[in-house]
Amino acid sequence: MQEQARLPCVEIRNLVKKFPGVIAVNHINLKVKHGEVFSLLGPSGCGKTTTLRILAGLETADEGEVLIEGEVINDVPPYRRDCNLVFQNLALFPHMTVEENLAYGLERKRVPKSEIRKRVGEMLEFMQLNGMESRYTVQLSGGQQQRVALGRSLVLKPKLLLLDEPLAALDRKLRKDMQVELKRIQKEVGITFFYVTHDQKVALAISDTIAVMREGKLEQVASPEEIYDTPRTRFVADFMGATNIFPGKVIARGGGEIQLETESGLKIVALADKASNNKTITGVCVHPERINVLPTGPDVETENQFNGRIVGMIYQGDFVELKIHLLSRKKDVSVTAHLDARLSRKDSFAVGQEVTIQWDRDGSSTLHG
């Protein structure tokens, strides 16, 4: 048992998967701790679903090893693996009732009938599906179908639950509800979740660890906060919504801060992170909500303060998105800022108006590639 606790739930070593004309997974290494929600996040075609399918055993690895609790499972057929998959389209059996769907895996494992009935009953209760047991799955609502799909896998008590964007097909409100629900379920059953998604919001909301994947490789593996606040690369920054990316070089360093000069000639001050040297820093990114926008006022020069003109304004409900062109630059630089709708009146800014933008040094993050 102690041995088990020390081993990661899942370990992937040097995994490679090639398809004709493309390397879907390119030497991936990762570890998933017991009981955590691990998200593999990336755009479509980045290899995340392939990785998941290799874990499930539905695809075979070309190179490398997949381990569950320290055991190599490359050659274990999918129907003998102690991990279950919740499919993107849920893949509920349309010719079976809810109860039959839930019992399917247990029957295959030749669990005694009385125990199947007991465990299915508990799962119906747990998933709040009481009274639905003899319905066909097409007669259920989207949220209920999600719960049947989850229950069908969880009732087997797998060591690992693989989820392939099961929330993607839901509308926005239901997706939010299901995120909360998913997190609650995971906490309660304590099973490790391996969640594949292209939706950074879902990943941030449910994960303990996020791995951002790009073209078959992992870009960054970290906690949601770290990924969001300090994306390491331009790709991660962009994917996490830090749309203001300033490529540039370090020109000065000291006292825990660095100064950069961007390609467009801006001088930016940022926090120096210890782990990196000047050479590897390739720029800075700033999340739109970290940028303060002020009506152009007194010329008090503080750090990271620039003048610009509003060229676009999009009302988004809970915030207003401003597109601002910085003035008098060699190259055109535009910045996106989000204003909290509660704090700024809609009419306090207008397109064409000159404004001053500013952000604090801890609101930005240095990029390394």
Partner 1 sequence: MKSLRTDRLLLVLVVGGYLLLWGPIIVLGIFSFNSSAFGVKWESLTAKWYVELFQTSAIMDSVVRSLLIASVTTMVATGIGTIAGYGLFKYKFAGRRFLRLSILLPITVPYVIMAGALLVYFTQIIHVPLGYPTIIIAHISFSAPLAVFVTLGRMQRIDWSLEEASIDLGADRLTTWRKVTIPLLLPAIFASAVLIFPWSFNDFTITYFVAGVGTTTLPLYLYSMLQYSLKPVLINAISLIFIITPTIGILVLSYFQREKQFTR
Binding site for partner 1 (CB under 8 A): 56-58, 77-80, 84-85, 87-89, 91-95, 104-105, 108-109, 136, 138, 152-153, 156
Nearest to 364 by CA among 289, 271, 276: 271
**Chain mean position to CA 255:** 34
Residue with smaller CB distance to partner 1, 86 or 326: 86
DSSP 236-284: HHHHTT--EEEEEEEEEEETTEEEEEETTS-EEEEEPPTT--GGG--EE
Taking the C-alpha atoms of residue 266 and residue 244, their distance in angstroms, rounded to an integer, is 13
Residue with smaller CB distance to partner 1, 35 or 78: 78
Dihedral (CA of 79, 84, 89, 95) sign: positive
Residue with smaller CB distance to partner 1, 55 or 320: 55
User: Residue 7 Cβ, how far from partner 1 at the closest point, in Å?
Assistant: 23
Residue with smaller CB distance to partner 1, 116 or 284: 116
Residue with smaller CB distance to partner 1, 88 or 292: 88
Burial of 165 per CB tally in 10 Å (0-12, 13-18, 19+): buried
User: Residue 119 Cβ, how far from partner 1 at the closest point, in Å?
Assistant: 14
Dihedral (CA of 132, 133, 139, 143) sign: positive
Residue with smaller CB distance to partner 1, 44 or 328: 44
User: Residue 171 Cβ, how far from partner 1 at the closest point, in Å?
Assistant: 20
DSSP 102-125: HHHHHHHTT--HHHHHHHHHHHHH
User: Residue 58 Cβ, how far from partner 1 at the closest point, in Å?
Assistant: 6
User: Residue 83 Cβ, how far from partner 1 at the closest point, in Å?
Assistant: 8
What pairing do the DSSP bridges indicate for beta strands 71-72 and 209-214?
A: unpaired
By the 8 A CB rule, do 230 and 273 touch?
A: yes
DSSP 3-state of 345 = coil
Structure token pair of residue 341:
């709708």
User: Residue 33 Cβ, how far from partner 1 at the closest point, in Å?
Assistant: 23
Residue with smaller CB distance to partner 1, 137 or 186: 137
User: Residue 127 Cβ, how far from partner 1 at the closest point, in Å?
Assistant: 16
Nearest to 244 by CA among 340, 336, 368, 309: 336
Q: What is the dihedral of CA 100, 101, 105, 107, to 10 degrees?
A: 10
User: Residue 17 Cβ, how far from partner 1 at the closest point, in Å?
Assistant: 17
Residue with smaller CB distance to partner 1, 107 or 340: 107
Residue with smaller CB distance to partner 1, 79 or 315: 79
Instruction: Give, for 55, the enclosing helix (H) or strand (E).
Output: helix 48-56
By the 8 A CB rule, do 268 and 284 touch?
A: yes
User: Residue 151 Cβ, how far from partner 1 at the closest point, in Å?
Assistant: 12
Q: What share of the chain is helix, strand, coil (3-state, %, to 5)?
A: 30, 35, 35
